Amino acid sequence: MKISDLEKELGYAPLWEGYEDRDILDGYTSDLLSDVMGNAPDDSVLITIQAHKNTVAVATLAGINAIVLANNRPAPEEMIEAAQEEGIAVFRADENQFTASWKIHNILTK
């Protein structure tokens, strides 16, 4: 799948425009950033409620291409700015993490 599928197929709201539409090969759901650093696969999407600048830093280190903030969690401006600098797409989803993960999994396994 492509990053843009999060918006086009699932209706998730991008929190900044102009992201590079890279491939997403896998997904990872966690709120524990040390867990994400140690276990998230490259070229994945992170589904989380951790809406802060450190989430972007961890995504960069882990090779994550996009972040989905579940539960309609707002992102602070410093998170969006960091994501733009690092080229990490960030989206907001109305669903909880379980539902967002299930929907993303379904697209990944088509």
The answer to whether 35 and 55 are in contact (CB under 8 A) is no
Angstrom distance (rounded) from CA 21 to CA 108: 15
Angstrom distance (rounded) from CA 95 to CA 110: 21
| pLDDT band at residue 96 using 50, 70 and 90 as cut-offs | very high
Output the domain CATH number for residue 43.
3.40.1390.20
- Tens digits of residue pLDDT in 28-82: 999 999 999 999 999 999 999 999 999 999 999 999 999 999 999 999 999 999 9
| pLDDT band at residue 110 using 50, 70 and 90 as cut-offs | confident
Return the pLDDT at 72. 97
Dmax (CA) for the chain in angstroms is 35
- Tens digits of residue pLDDT in 1-42: 999 999 999 999 999 999 999 999 999 999 999 999 999 999
The answer to whether 17 and 98 are in contact (CB under 8 A) is no
Domain total of the chain: 1
Q: Above 90 in pLDDT, residue 104?
A: yes
User: Which residue range forms the structural domain that includes residue 94?
Assistant: 4-108
Say what the pTM is.
0.97
Q: Above 90 in pLDDT, residue 92?
A: yes
Q: CA dist 11 to 42, 95, 100, 103, Å?
A: 24, 11, 11, 11
